[in-house]
Amino acid sequence: MKIAISAEGPDPEATVSHRLGTSPYLIIVDSETMSFEAIPSEAGASGQHAGMHLVSLAIAKEVDAVLTGYCSPIAENYLSAKGIRVVTDVTGTVSDAVERYIHSESQSLKMTASSPPTSKALLRKDTLSASLKKSGSQFKGFLPILIGVVLLIGLLSTFVSKDVLSFIFTGDAPLDTLLGACFGSIFTGNPINSYVIGGEMLGYGISLFAVTALMISWVTVGIAQLPAEIMAFGSRFALIRNITSFVLSIIIAFITVIILNLLGVRL
């Protein structure tokens, strides 16, 4: 069994990282031989990019489980889709974390083997506590996003003037839609940020075509994450998916605005 642990250092005595996305290293441990491989995060501590890089590494190394302090829901979904178990709220050193995980797996197998085939699994006494803990960790992970949204609104109001946006977006629907899709493809961050930027753009009189294309491409096209996506799914899939998403973001933007106009909706 291969176990991947987010770590602050390159050896088993290093501390488990509090967050997968900012972990400097990913240590892969073979539970049978206890041999390990320490892989540095090439993306460094760059948040979302580093997280996707480490997710891709875990998938590429065909690990069975990932142990970390906190894992974002997006990264956890990627790993779970590949059949990789994600264990959060892990503390202590890497070696201690691996030993605890192996022991818990061993106990789980023993309980399964000793239980009658028709018996129902009993609820663990700490289920509620574990759920509250996980919810707290997820809220802590989401808190920086909320703060970032507030700061982003202030930055846009201060540094991005109406004149600058009017110079970029001239009012030509096809060109504005293309530019909106391009900006959405290049920029990266939480999808919530696209709502903030889009709202500010509408307030400055930028066409709904451009704003819609930006929001759609923001959440479907990922130029910054393209290397990680190529590593996880292959270059052909990643390129075709991103190009298709880019083209569709333009088409969907036109369709959306046309439907809104037909329904008499004004934003």
| CATH number of this structure's domain 2-114 | 3.30.420.130
**Where residue 44 falls among pLDDT bands split at 50, 70, 90?**
very low
Residue 191, pLDDT above cutoff 90: no
Q: Which residue has the higher pLDDT, 29 or 41?
A: 29
d(CA 78, CA 228): 12
Q: Which residue has the higher pLDDT, 211 or 22?
A: 211
Instruction: Work out the percent of the chain whose per-residue pLDDT is above 70.
Output: 75
Q: Which residue has the higher pLDDT, 89 or 154?
A: 89
Residue 111: its pLDDT value, please? Answer: 56
Name the 3-class secondary structure at 87. Answer: strand
- State the average pLDDT over residues 196-209: 85
**Contact (Cβ atoms closer than 8 angstroms) between residue 71 and residue 137:** no
Q: 71: number of CA atoms within 13 Å, CB side?
A: 26
Residue 219, pLDDT above cutoff 60: yes
Nearest CA to 50 out of 17, 89, 80, 86 is that of 17
Global pTM value: 0.47
User: What are the tens digits of pLDDT across the range 60-74?
Assistant: 889 999 999 988 888
Residue 200, pLDDT above cutoff 50: yes
Domain boundaries, the chain: 2-114, 160-263
Q: Which residue has the higher pLDDT, 123 or 172?
A: 172
Residue 114, pLDDT above cutoff 90: no
Residues in Cβ contact with 79 at an 8 Å cutoff, skipping those fewer than 6 apart: 55, 58, 59, 66, 71, 86
Cα end-to-end span (Å), the chain = 54
Q: Which residue has the higher pLDDT, 189 or 243?
A: 243
d(CA 183, CA 239): 18
**Where residue 119 falls among pLDDT bands split at 50, 70, 90?**
very low
**Contact (Cβ atoms closer than 8 angstroms) between residue 26 and residue 58:** yes
Instruction: Work out the percent of the chain whose per-residue pLDDT is above 90.
Output: 33
Residue 247: its pLDDT value, please? Answer: 96
Query: What average pLDDT does the chain have?
Result: 80
CA dist list (Å): 1 to 4, 14, 141, 166: 10, 21, 29, 57
- The single-letter DSSP state of residue 32 is T
Name the 3-class secondary structure at 58. Answer: helix
Residue 46: its pLDDT value, please? Answer: 45
- State the average pLDDT over residues 105-109: 71
| Tokens found for residue 226 | 């393209």
| Tokens found for residue 253 | 């933007």
- State the average pLDDT over residues 115-130: 52
**Where residue 150 falls among pLDDT bands split at 50, 70, 90?**
low
**Where residue 241 falls among pLDDT bands split at 50, 70, 90?**
very high
Residue 64: its pLDDT value, please? Answer: 92
